[in-house]
Structure 1
Amino acid sequence: MTDLNRLNRRHFLRTTSAAAAAGVFAGSSRFSLAADSPNERPVFATIGLRNQGWTITNKSTKFADFAAFADVDANVLGATNEKLKEKTGKAADGYDDYRKVLERDDIDAVMIATPDHWHTKVSVEAMLAGKDVYCEKPLTLTIAEGKLIEKIVKQTGRVFQVGTMQRTENDHRFLKAIALIRAGRIGDIRKVTCGINGATGSPVIPAIDVPEGLDWDMWLGPAPKASYRALPEIRQGYGGGVPLYTNCHYAWRNWYEYSGGQMNDWGAHHVDIATWALGAGETGPNKITPVSYSLPVEYKDGYPTVDDQYNTPTKFEIHANMPGDIPLVITSEGDNGILFEGTKGRFFVNRGRLSGKPVEDLESNPLPEGAVEEVYGGPVSENHTANFIAAMQSRQQPISDVWTHNRMLETCHLANIAIRLGRELNWDPQKREIVGDPEANSFLSRENRKGYEIDM
């Protein structure tokens, strides 16, 4: 059994024990993975529908029936429901308030693809309402939010899948990379570099009227009160059809109020695989060093001094000291992907390629039979939703569990804190706190705006 699956199993046992004591754990499931058995298919709802919301819904219609959608933008809600009807022949019930979805007894699980600042509130309330949860990455806005989600998973016994799909999809390329490492093909790991791309700043973005159909106050939700901002130029390509420069649709990723910039966006993918490969899913770094970075606006005491421009880093090089004193470098430079360097060789992996001499050597010296399945912990699911539903059946935690995800994401959160404060941070991975730095520790949590506290 792999380290990851030992961890999953251990947390599963903790979860079931706590939930059984509370009398809330469901030990069996009424549905199966059979796509041709409509009476046994789980009933899903999606909360947050733009871009990734439709992507995960679209991928999941093979395995589940969608009975409800929720989004604070009426235009997005309507357009997504039309897509669902065109694909499946049936639209979902549409709501402007996700809480109406959670009130329904016929929903087995919710898929959450809201902006990051909404993830924790919706996830916690969904679990308390008896729903299993699939939530997009990055799971949290702060480290404290991660701890809360872990607590509620354990308390309720719900199954929780994080949407870090590189653990399952992309032709299993990342699983093969970890299998190479475990087979000793590069010897002992000496360094891991995660290239996650840089970002751009923005011009000054004026406050304007809220677009028709958008409930702006609800979109802000737990985040601080702010004006809606946008410039006329329209985004093209993925995420297109909305303002290129805004503090709302798509571009919210460039604001610390709602996200963590590239560090949490792409970092949640590549740092995840790197942490898994290093066997650090139960711990994390002990030191975070901001070697270099660029912020698009001026900061004071860790906070941007203006509110009308993007404020997350545009360039950076962060060194995380991982167990065994192995450096994990997170950089905006170079190719997007992960470079593993060991005592016997090196190779590179991303969503498009797995390359390097250890990979070329597989032609004459293939991996042992079952090596990829051993990394995964069993037969590899065809996609992330299939793994989620299989976990719903077994009542065990899936391949992207909240514990290993949060441990990985702590590295990204700490990197952002180090950049915001402009200094090295010493981290205690057992206590999960920053050592000797009260100011830095104040960034580990964030209060929700009044009226949008988590309903517990």
Structure 2
Amino acid sequence: MNQISRRQMMASATALTILGTSSAARAGSVNDRLNVAFIGVGNQGMGLLKRFLAADLGNVAMVCDVNRGSYGYKEEDHFYGREPARDFVNDYYTRHRGKGNYNTCTATEDWREVIARDDIDAVWLVVPDHWHRPMAVTAAAAGKAIYCEKPQSLTIADGQAMVAAVREHGVVLQTGSHERSNPVSQFICEAAKAGKIGPIRRVVTTVGYNNKVGPGPGWKAEPVPDGFDYQTWLGNAPKVPYHHDRCLYRFRFNYDYSGGQITNFGAHSNDMAQWGLGRDLDGPVSIQALEAKFLPEGSLFNTATETKFRCVYEDGVELICQSGPEQVQTRFEGEDGWLQTGYRGTTASSPNLLDGLPEKPSGTDDVLTRHMRNFLDCVRTGDEPRAYVEVGHSTASLCHIGNIAIRRHAQHGDQTLDWDPKKQTFAQEDANDLLTRNRA
């Protein structure tokens, strides 16, 4: 993959220059505002939308969601959807712009309507993973810049299609692996890459345990709520009965729509691992599942509840990805010491390794806001964002082959899979069947 993507990156330089005179041309200068739309305004989408408004990053012209509005996202009292999002934007502009009532932000349930609008410069795709490829490919063909939430794709085949579309049409895509915009993560990963702890021998990454519990075998279908377009939500996933635990925040625990916590938290911790190893566009050559636990057959949630797998890179460096508390996301172990960082802080084998460690930003300049700002700056200039499309694809690919290994482990027992990171294929031919998914 890294050889192909580098050629694509060089060939796309002209296309990115063209981008600077297309959607960004309406902005006039790097200080002018872009018109954006949010597709998907649930738990993560509303969080990003509120940060976008608070930091005054541009004009929110449109919001889109198949849910008109309801409670029951990550927490039961979260009331999200297209109408709450639209009203929030218009109320915010009314209160902060001081020029009467604003009703300039519109809402739709049809994402194609968003992409068809000529005045939209960039779109935020904050939707279940199985919708990333169709939306991103369509948006790229329409010349829209794309902020795509992590993990970048549902499958490796989907990720390959997204890379090809972005490079063919010369648009900017930022993956939502926002640790790339965290100065603390930048410090640790760059220190590891620079050899501050000597040659790295091992990296340990953590993905969180499942934080929601779904119904077990024998669960019963429920009526589709009024105002929720369930068939569009399913899209090209298998046509199955509705249950509230299948949708909204909980989609991530079903393989039809996501990859569990390996692709959720792993899109951060494993991204930092490859970053610190200097392997942003690379991958391991072998992968072995060490532990895998699943709910009983017939449960609505079918992704692994606990996992541990081992990857080995061409030079012998190993990566262990395991379920656990999220205090430590990524730990680099070198011949001369160790560095680790996570949600509960950053530590090292020697205090001097942390000399110059910056503060994690907060408020209206927090990490997520910085990541969105970096994306918009690149939309204007045509530069590559911090988590550009090949980086997002490489990280997602690592997570995907981890899932493939643990799913096969459950079926076939202990097995090491040989992986070619350039061709993106397994030596074990039957494992390649899991590089894509069946579509409805």
Q: What band does the TM-score fall into relative to the shorter chain? A: 0.7 to 0.9
Match of 1:150 in 2: 163
Match of 1:280 in 2: 279
Amino acid at match of 1:255: N
How many Å separate the matches in 2 of 1:19 and 1:386?
Answer: 18
1:311-326 superposed matches below 5 A: 311-326=302-317
Match of 1:197 in 2: 208
Match of 1:439 in 2: 430
Shift of residue 179, structure 1, vs aligned partner: 2.7
How many Å separate the matches in 1 of 2:198 and 2:188?
Answer: 13
Match of 1:229 in 2: 243
Deviations 1:329-355 (A, max 9, x none): 000035441111111111220133111
How many Å separate the matches in 2 of 1:402 and 1:208?
Answer: 38
Quick one: structure 1 residues 25 and 361, their matched pair in 2 at CA, closer, same or farther if it must change by over 3 Å?
Answer: closer
Match of 2:321 in 1: 330
1:187 aligns to 2:187 (yes or no): no
- Counterpart contact for 2:196–2:353, Cα < 8 Å: no
1:96-111 superposed matches below 5 A: 96-111=109-124
Match of 1:249 in 2: 248
1:43 aligns to 2:42 (yes or no): no
- Counterpart contact for 1:49–1:77, Cα < 8 Å: yes
Amino acid at match of 1:217: Q
1:384 aligns to 2:396 (yes or no): no
Match of 2:228 in 1: 214
How many Å separate the matches in 1 of 2:342 and 2:230?
Answer: 37
Match of 2:345 in 1: 353
Amino acid at match of 1:285: P
Deviations 1:191-237 (A, max 9, x none): 1100112226533332010111100000101211011114xxxxxxx
Match of 1:242 in 2: none
**Alpha carbon RMSD of aligned pairs, Å?**
2.5
How many Å separate the matches in 2 of 1:313 and 1:398?
Answer: 32
Amino acid at match of 1:132: A
Quick one: structure 1 residues 215 and 15, their matched pair in 2 at CA, closer, same or farther if it must change by over 3 Å?
Answer: same
Match of 2:90 in 1: 85
- Counterpart contact for 1:201–1:311, Cα < 8 Å: no
Quick one: structure 1 residues 41 and 7, their matched pair in 2 at CA, closer, same or farther if it must change by over 3 Å?
Answer: farther
- Counterpart contact for 1:189–1:343, Cα < 8 Å: yes
Amino acid at match of 1:203: P
1:411 aligns to 2:398 (yes or no): yes
Quick one: structure 1 residues 197 and 336, their matched pair in 2 at CA, closer, same or farther if it must change by over 3 Å?
Answer: farther
How many Å separate the matches in 2 of 1:107 and 1:418?
Answer: 41
Aligned residue for 2:36, secondary structure, equals strand
Quick one: structure 1 residues 366 and 113, their matched pair in 2 at CA, closer, same or farther if it must change by over 3 Å?
Answer: closer
How many Å separate the matches in 2 of 1:8 and 1:256?
Answer: 27
Match of 1:53 in 2: 45
Match of 1:399 in 2: 386
Q: Gaps (5+ residues) in structure 1?
A: 35-39, 231-245, 299-305, 373-379, 450-456
- Counterpart contact for 1:16–1:154, Cα < 8 Å: no
- Counterpart contact for 1:115–1:258, Cα < 8 Å: yes
Q: TM-score, normalised by structure 1?
A: 0.82
Match of 1:239 in 2: none
Shift of residue 16, structure 1, vs aligned partner: 3.2
How many Å separate the matches in 2 of 1:175 and 1:140?
Answer: 24
Percentage of pairs with the same residue: 31
Deviations 1:299-345 (A, max 9, x none): xxxxxxx3x42100011110011242111000003544111111111
How many Å separate the matches in 2 of 1:277 and 1:398?
Answer: 18
